[in-house]
Amino acid sequence: MACATAPCVAPAPVARAVQGLLAVLAWAVLSAPVRAQTSAPDGHPAGVPLRSSPLLQESLPEAARQQAPTFVSGERITGQTDALTVVEGEAELRRHGTVIKADRLQFDTRDSEAQATGQVLINSNGNRFEGPELQINVDTGKGTFTQPSFSLLKNEGLGDASRVDFLDKDHLVAHDARYSTCPRTPGERWMPDWLVRAQRIEIDNIEEVGLATGGVLEFKGVPILAAPYLSFPLTDKRKSGVLPPTINLDNISGLELTLPYYLNLAPHFDATLYPTLMSKRGVDLAGEFRYLQPAYNGRLRAAYMPSDKLRDRDRWGYAVQHDQRLALPDTLRGLGLSGAMGLRLNLNRVSDDDYWRDFPRSSTSLTSRLLANEAALNWGQGPWSISAGAYQWQTLQDTAAPITPPYDRLPSLALRYARSDDTLAGLGGNWDWSVQTETTRFRADSIGGLDRLNGTRSLAVADLTRRWQTPGWFVQPRARLHTAQYRLDSLRADRPQSLSRTLPTLSLDSGLVLERDADYFGRAFIQTLEPRAFFTWTPYRNQALLPNYDSAANDFNFASIYTENAFGGHDRISDTRSVTVGATSRLLDPGTGVEVLRLGLAQRFLLRDQQVTLPPADCASPSQAGCSAITNRLSDVLVGARMQWDPRWTLDANVQFRPEDRESVRTTLSGRYTPSPFRVLSAAYRLQRGASEQFDIGWQWPLNDLWGTPAQRRPGAQALGPGQWYSVGRINYSVPDRKVVDLLAGFEYDGGCWLGRVVVERLQRSTASANQRVLFQLEFTGFSRIGSNPLQTLRDNVPRYQYLREEINPPSRFQHYD
């Protein structure tokens, strides 16, 4: 039998071929329903019938795969029916998931054994192998390939070996192998920038991992890491094992070496261990445990350092976050209640006051000087909501800059009923009203001679709001009644043990929204003018004897200037009789509605003095906001602007101007230039007169732009392509101190199949000292990282920083189609 170039079916009984084709067709039709653009009855929208699959993987049942037909083609085919078939000249064999091409191909239909010689290529589910000689069982996938080079689909890994043993269709072993993800250069001997040389490399496509035995990692021809076993991923699928070590050089803790180990305990929970050796301190044993279930999720982080050599004591810290949805008890369901309860735990503790300073990068939640600890239950159904919890703080003190610890709330119980767009009898609809009650016991330890007024506060707040609104104007009156009752824990000579306060508040918010067509600099816009007037009235009540558990002066900005109370919290309510007037003008793109320019102006006019202040114990100086009575009839003027005339440029400006002094009290000017991906420049100037003045500059920019044609991102490419240097950093400079407060600066290099990073970081610990460290990392794409990892630091500090290896969809198996 002979065929010239046209495909032929390998000799087999007609009945067997028909059975195979029928099995394949039956599986394709019956294995799963397929729907596309189905019509929904009764005019209802149809559900989404199609679901994308990035790999388009087929998975034939084993019985159907055994009966799948085998196709062979070539320049000359000879053989016997149901026996041996020999194909010569551009020989090709195709069977489900497997393609073999060779100069000469021999296939035995009785046992599905194939032998190929010459220029041999086998493509198994997208994994390609090329070499001089192949022997394989097409049914089982078991076989041997001599001196092949190979290309793996899932991570685009490349390599070669003296021999590859196919254990089955999903497992193989490469002997005397080289492996890398660096591309081959046509016509040249393959010498990648990095590679792994190993006695054997095992590839497991089920677990999606590789294991190199007796492996040596080489970079630019220089061995940099040797290990008896090197495990590496084929995809981003989680797997247990040793993670790349990280190395930091810190001026306080010395050399820091971390050897993390990841434990993929189950699909819904995992753990990571972070043993760290600090040359000047000792060994820090840290770890993280994460879990995720349909009804709850959370994480636990903990660290323990026995006998810190610099502090001469044990150091420890932990952070627990847990959120859970709880079923409502049967007792409450019997009362007609429904829904579910929510449980929230947030626990953070450290061993001592210096922890935040000595371990600034250990955990985001443990580096603050105020560590929150809370346990809370909440429930809601319709307009009703209830919450109960305990809230406690750990305050980390600094003798050079002490802070007053906030009061703990042990416990706190709140009940709220709220309705929106409701109808009140005789008053029509569109009414919003709510009633909120809360009872809390406050407790705090005395510190530095400061006497704390521990006690219990019960309060009730009732709100009633009606809003009239059309496209061109709105009017919103609001009435509030606030009452609070205090019961102190102990008798005091300077105040009664029981105190109370009841205050009404009335406000009226109103505004216009005017529009017109406009043209500026040859560009058409919709221009708006939005004047706004806000009136509020609250009578004066002497609140000097009331304890202050949670009140502080609101920040003065465009949001707070249109509110009734100058204080946050419930312990101080400002006696306000004022009118706030302001206006905003916007330029909108008529085609997209995008805001191109916004200008805002606002000022508050007091109709009488504001006498309510914070207690002197809560004020560092009388000039602090909320610490002195306000007698000026005119407040500071707020001026704000934001412009994005070009999508690449964003400019912001906010100024708090004091008319009587003719100077700005607070100024913030910022700008950002983002012409394209991986190019961003940002700068900001911040002034708070009498307190601070700073310049802040951040950037990520390819340095090749300075000495060559700016590179552009190509479709489907990572970053701007190989051979690019990037500068990245952020600098915060204090004008009064005439020094850099915080610094992050470094370089990144994209080698295509590897990335290099070196970053210098400086964090101010106090007015006299700072933490400094150097981070250096090599990232071998699709394999591993070596060195310290600055990525999280760059993301947290550099505005709009982009990782040079963004996550992309995995390659299609048809990317290596033959």
Nearest to 551 by CA among 575, 571, 574: 571
Residue with token string 């043209």 = 519
Residue 423's identity, in one-letter code, is T
Domain boundaries, the chain: 8-22+62-237, 420-436+445-645, 660-818
Q: What is the pTM of this model?
A: 0.78
Could you read off the pLDDT of 784-799 as tens digits, one per residue?
888 877 888 888 889 9
The pLDDT of residue 257 is above 80: yes
Burial category of 263 from C-beta neighbours within 10 Å (exposed 0-12, middle 13-18, buried 19 and up): middle
**Given pLDDT bands bounded at 50, 70 and 90, which one contains residue 15?**
very low
Residue 813's pLDDT band (boundaries 50, 70, 90)? Answer: low
Q: Any idea which architecture 8-22+62-237 has in CATH?
A: Sandwich (2.60)
pLDDT for residue 361: 63
User: Per DSSP, what are the bridge partners of residue 534?
Assistant: 509, 580
- Return all residues near 485 (Cβ < 8 A) that are at least 6 apart: 457, 458, 459, 498, 499, 500
Per-residue confidence band for 33, with pLDDT thresholds at 50, 70 and 90 = very low
| CA separation for the pair 770, 765 (Å, rounded) | 5
561 pLDDT above the threshold of 90? yes
More confident residue, 190 or 747: 747
CB 102 within 8 A of CB 89: no
Which of 136, 104, 135 shows the shortest CA–CA distance to 119? 104
pLDDT at 26: 35
Integer Cα distance of 727 and 748 in angstroms = 6
pLDDT at 639: 97
Whether 486 has a pLDDT exceeding 70, the answer reads yes
Average pLDDT across the chain, whole number: 86
Determine which of 360-374, 399-413, 446-460 has the lowest per-residue pLDDT on average.
Answer: 360-374
Residue scoring higher pLDDT (81 or 773):
773
pLDDT, one tens digit per residue, over 182-233 is 988 776 678 899 999 999 999 998 888 899 999 999 999 999 888 888 888 8
The one-character DSSP state at 766 is S
The pLDDT value given to residue 178: 94
Q: Reduced to 3 states, what is the DSSP secondary structure of residue 797?
A: helix
The tens digit of pLDDT for each residue in 128-179 reads 999 999 999 998 889 999 999 999 988 889 999 999 999 998 999 999 999 9
* Lowest mean pLDDT, pick from 127-131, 564-568, 609-613, 784-788: 784-788
Tokens of 90: 């551009």
- Do residues 257 and 247 touch, judged by C-beta distance below 8 A? yes
